[in-house]
């Protein structure tokens, strides 16, 4: 479907606001208006703990003069409020007087990659709560060792309008639904946790595709299985990463280093390396905001440009970085539609959308059979990354030993330690079972945005496991 500007701001008011923003000599002006609403429900210890909803509306005005950016935001979407914000942003960018510029806006028809069938706002609260109850019960029924269960549901609708002095006028309507659960099991080895989550840029029809009882049982079984886990090995071993579960590693350890602001500041290990072989020839890394229904999918980025598919590394060769408008303008490059912001109260910056490694040719089961000893990572957790060096530490929240070409016993939670560029170079086989992982929120400079991550099953020749076994 196509999106229209709707009732956020009248088109003539947008044009006058841009004109006012340029009145004191601004070179570029932009209006970003947003209407965001959503609901959150949590179910803990067998009862509803939180049942909340909220709405936020406003606009951010950006004015650029040379290398200086002025920015102001307001919750007042009247013409008076917008003009005042435009004057404030313009004044911050440059003082002085200088007439009025008229802006001719050209509306862009933007097709959504994620059409919605059932808007969550139209679904009764009781029906949503029932999902939580069913999941809670299914997790508790999975075994007597389950001590705690926590379930959450979240939905959001974000309608945006972006217009600028280059004539851009574009809108988007983004609907997202997320469901997640964690289960805690208790035993002789202490308390162990298992989790599961699904989310998509779609409506309540998400639950036509995913069974909440199945998700709950999966989370509970992870927790129960970890009660029997043995200490993780320590030292360097081959590591096989399950499809969909390791995308966060490539997002954090490689993706952030390919964002143009990090490149400009020379705080990325990939700076100045376009055209170089930076990864195994098996590796093709892509960022794609057009992926239908994925968590980072959008019709436009937060600067009004229709999202696109960007190949960052192709067959091991670094082909390009990710760009927002400001960095692309400075370097004389086309935008890659990676300008994103958390809300109207924030300036856009270079951010990923859906970032993933492309499929290979190998049977994933054969990858395991070809590994005489190592670790099979079924789920990675959070971690820390130094973008300047590429060094990282990630927690393994579900992992197993590989012995004699077979996945055997579960191992306790431990850290996976390595270096992003080295991992890219040391990938020696990639499976044909591509999958996207859990929906994520990427934090950068205090802003969080929804992102998708994924990869097929693959093997890294050697990674350091920070376990305790000798």
For 227-251, the pLDDT digits (tens) are: 999 999 999 999 999 999 999 999 9
Hey, what CATH topology would domain 11-226 get? PmbA/TldD fold (3.30.2290)
With cut-offs at 50, 70 and 90, classify the pLDDT of residue 24: confident
With cut-offs at 50, 70 and 90, classify the pLDDT of residue 46: confident
Is the predicted pLDDT of residue 351 greater than 50, yes or no?
yes
Secondary structure class of 263 (helix, strand, coil): helix
Q: What is the pLDDT of residues 115-166, one digit of tens each?
A: 999 999 999 999 999 999 999 999 999 999 999 999 999 999 999 999 999 9
- Angle at the Cα of 436 (from 236 to 358), degrees rounded to 5? 70
Contact 170, 304 (CB under 8 A): yes
Residue 469 pLDDT: 65
φ and ψ at 115, to 5 degrees? Answer: -65, 150
Give helix 79-93 / helix 11-21 axis angle, nearest 10°. Answer: 30
Q: What is the pLDDT of residues 323-339, one digit of tens each?
A: 999 999 999 999 999 99
Q: How far apart are CA 290 and CA 336, in angstroms?
A: 12
Contact 83, 20 (CB under 8 A): yes
Q: What is the pLDDT of residues 51-73, one digit of tens each?
A: 999 999 999 999 999 889 999 99
φ and ψ at 18, to 5 degrees? Answer: -65, -40
Average pLDDT over residues 426-452: 96
Q: How far apart are CA 406 and CA 178, in angstroms?
A: 34
Average pLDDT over residues 19-28: 90
With a pLDDT cut of 70, the percent of the chain lying above it is 95
Length of the chain: 470
With cut-offs at 50, 70 and 90, classify the pLDDT of residue 307: very high
With cut-offs at 50, 70 and 90, classify the pLDDT of residue 4: very low
Residue 285 pLDDT: 98
Residue 100 pLDDT: 41
Q: How far apart are CA 269 and CA 421, in angstroms?
A: 8
Tokens of 84: 């005042």
With cut-offs at 50, 70 and 90, classify the pLDDT of residue 209: very high
Residue 98 pLDDT: 38
Tokens of 60: 């951010």
With cut-offs at 50, 70 and 90, classify the pLDDT of residue 5: very low
Q: How far apart are CA 228 and CA 224, in angstroms?
A: 8
Other beta carbons within 10 Å of 281: 11
Is the predicted pLDDT of residue 93 greater than 90, yes or no?
no
- Per the prediction, the chain carries an average pLDDT of 93
Q: How far apart are CA 336 and CA 301, in angstroms?
A: 9
Global pTM value: 0.94
Query: Domain spans of the chain?
Result: 11-226, 234-466
């Amino acid at each position: 479907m196509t999106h229209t500007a709707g009732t956020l701001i009248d088109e003539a008011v947008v044009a006058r606001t841009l004109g006012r923003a340029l009145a004191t000599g601004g070179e570029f002006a932009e209006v970003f208006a947003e209407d965001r609403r959503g609901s959150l429900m949590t179910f803990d210890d067998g009862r509803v703990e939180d049942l909340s909803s909220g709405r936020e509306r406003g606009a951010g005005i950006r004015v650029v003069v040379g290398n200086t950016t002025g920015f102001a935001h307001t919750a007042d979407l009247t013409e008076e409020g917008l003009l005042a914000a435009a004057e404030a942003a313009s004044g911050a960018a440059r003082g002085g007087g200088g007439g009025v510029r008229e802006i001719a806006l050209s509306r862009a028809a933007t097709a959504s990659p994620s059409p919605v069938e059932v808007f969550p706002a139209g679904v009764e609260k009781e029906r949503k709560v029932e999902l939580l109850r069913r999941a809670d019960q299914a997790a508790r029924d999975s075994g007597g060792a389950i001590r705690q269960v926590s379930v959450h549901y979240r939905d959001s609708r974000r309608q945006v309008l972006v217009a600028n002095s280059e004539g851009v006028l574009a809108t988007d309507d983004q609907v997202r639904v997320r469901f997640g659960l964690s289960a805690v099991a208790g035993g002789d080895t202490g308390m162990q946790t298992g989790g599961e989550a699904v989310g998509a840029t779609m409506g309540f029809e998400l639950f036509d595709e995913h069974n909440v009882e199945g998700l709950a049982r999966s989370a509970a079984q992870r927790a129960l299985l970890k009660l029997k886990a043995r200490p993780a090995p320590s030292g360097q071993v081959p590591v096989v990463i399950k499809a969909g579960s390791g995308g966060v590693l490539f997002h954090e350890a490689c993706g952030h280093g390919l964002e143009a602001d990090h490149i400009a500041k020379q705080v990325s290990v990939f700076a100045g390396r376009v055209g170089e072989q930076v990864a195994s020839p098996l590796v093709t890394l892509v960022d794609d905001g057009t992926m239908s229904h994925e968590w980072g999918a959008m019709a436009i980025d937060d600067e009004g440009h229709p999202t696109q598919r960007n190949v960052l590394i192709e067959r091991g060769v670094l082909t390009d970085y990710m760009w927002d408008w400001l960095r692309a303008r400075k370097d004389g490059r086309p935008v890659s539609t990676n300008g994103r912001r958390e809300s109207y109260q924030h300036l856009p910056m270079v951010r990923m959308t859906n970032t993933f490694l492309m499929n290979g040719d190998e049977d994933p089961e054969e990858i395991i059979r070809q590994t005489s000893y190592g670790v099979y990572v079924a789920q990675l957790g959070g971690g820390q990354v130094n973008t300047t060096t590429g060094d990282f530490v990630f927690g393994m929240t579900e992992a197993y030993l590989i012995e004699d070409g077979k996945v055997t016993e579960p191992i306790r939670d431990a850290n996976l330690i390595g270096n992003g560029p080295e991992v890219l170079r040391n990938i020696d086989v990639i499976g044909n079972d591509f999958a996207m992982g859990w929906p994520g929120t990427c934090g950068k400079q205090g802003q969080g945005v929804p992102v998708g991550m994924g990869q097929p099953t693959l093997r890294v020749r050697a990674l350091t496991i920070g376990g305790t076994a000798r």
